[in-house]
């Protein structure tokens, strides 16, 4: 059964920049921030570190960075959904700009995740694509202009407002995450205050002078923005 997610939330997404002990140390910081600020924090990691992080954390939503729709059996070298769930993953990214899927495979992956109770974060690089992805019924649509990923340039408020308005109209049950270029706690506050269900960062955290402190600052901003918009 899919875990009940509290919104708004934060996503800490180290991609392939961290692994092993470094990934675990950042995960522990995210785990503590989740507890201290009483918000849900998704933490992504590579496949090999899923079980390590699951066994050493209590609060974060452990998230795989990709999967495929195959079933147990043949599939040498592919990413089996059951193996992710068994290792402790509770969510999975799909269709990220760095690992895109065909529409057919994306839909199949969403269905497989539903079978296994995995929360799906399906990525889209424009409002139009986000609307199409929303129709497929993922748990969440991450609407981020690909050209802004890693730049430190945040999508403007008109993009945030239009994206939220249009996606709510397509499927009000799908969470909306807007994250491209998120660098500071102020960026996090602004996106959440404007109505997004979640946001997150990679370089905005990893390039900070103190990445662990940056996670805490962003977690506090999520909590504060949620309170202020209510």
Res 144: pLDDT: 79
Q: Could you give the residue numbers annotated as active site? A: 96, 144
User: Do the domain assignments include residue 3?
Assistant: no
Helix (H/G/I), strand (E/B), else coil: 120: strand
Burial class of residue 64 in the structure, from the number of CB atoms within 10 Å of its CB (0-12 exposed, 13-18 middle, 19+ buried)? buried
Residue 105 forms part of a structural domain: yes
Residue 151 pLDDT > 60, yes or no?
no
Q: What integer pLDDT is reported at residue 153 of this predicted model?
A: 59
Cβ atoms of 26 and 56 within 8 Å: the answer is no
Whose CA is closest to 134, among 145, 125, 122, 148?
Answer: 122
Could you report the per-residue pLDDT of 23-35, keeping only the tens digit for each? 999 999 999 999 9
Q: Note whether 176 and 194 are within 8 A (CB).
A: no
Residues 6+ apart with CB under 8 A from 213: none
Total number of domains in the chain? 1
**What pLDDT digit, counting tens, does each position of 91-132 carry?**
999 999 899 999 999 999 999 999 999 999 999 988 899 999
Q: What is the mean pLDDT of residues 147-151?
A: 54
206 within domain boundaries? yes
Two structure tokens written together for 95? 């269709």
Instruction: Name residue, tokens 């939220």.
Output: 164
Sequential DSSP letters for 143-211:
E--GGGTTTSPPPPHHHHHHHHHHHHHH-TTSEEE--TT--SHHHHHHHHHTT-SEEEESHHHHTSSSH
Look at residue 147 and tell me whether its pLDDT is greater than 80: no
CATH of the domain at 24: 3.20.20.70
Does 179 reside within a domain? yes
Residue 4 lies in a domain: no
Q: Is residue 128 part of a domain?
A: yes
For residue 33, give the nearest of 216, 206, 211 by alpha carbon.
Answer: 216
User: Hey, how many other C-beta atoms are within 10 angstroms of the C-beta on 207?
Assistant: 14
State the pTM of this model. 0.94
Q: Is residue 2 included in any domain, yes or no?
A: no
Of the candidates 208, 207, 144, the residue with the CA atom closest to the CA atom of residue 181: 144
User: What digits encode the pLDDT tens for the residues 179-223?
Assistant: 878 999 999 999 999 999 999 999 999 999 999 999 999 999 999
Range of the structural domain that residue 204 is part of: 9-229
Do 41 and 61 touch, CB atoms closer than 8 A?
yes
1 falls within a domain: no
């Amino acid at each position: 059964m899919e875990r009940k997610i509290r919104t708004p939330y934060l996503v800490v997404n180290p991609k392939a920049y961290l692994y092993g002990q470094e990934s675990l140390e950042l995960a522990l910081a995210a785990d503590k921030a989740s507890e201290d600020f009483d918000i849900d924090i998704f933490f992504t990691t590579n496949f090999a570190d899923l079980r390590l992080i699951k066994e050493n954390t209590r609060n974060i939503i452990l998230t795989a960075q990709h999967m495929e729709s195959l079933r147990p059996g043949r599939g040498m070298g592919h990413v089996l959904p059951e193996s992710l769930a068994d290792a402790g993953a509770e969510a999975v990214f799909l269709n990220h700009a760095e690992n895109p899927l065909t529409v057919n495979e994306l839909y199949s992956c969403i269905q497989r995740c539903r079978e296994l109770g995995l929360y799906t974060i399906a990525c889209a690089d424009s409002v139009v694509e986000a609307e199409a992805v929303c129709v497929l019924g993922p748990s969440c649509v991450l609407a981020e202009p690909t050209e802004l990923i890693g730049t430190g340039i945040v999508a403007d408020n008109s993009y945030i407002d239009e994206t939220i308005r249009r996606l709510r109209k397509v499927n009000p049950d799908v969470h909306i995450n807007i994250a491209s270029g998120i660098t500071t706690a102020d960026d996090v506050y602004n996106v959440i205050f404007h109505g997004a269900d979640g946001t997150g960062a990679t370089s905005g955290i990893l390039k900070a002078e103190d990445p662990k402190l940056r996670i805490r600052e962003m977690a506090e901003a999520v909590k504060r923005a949620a309170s202020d918009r209510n």
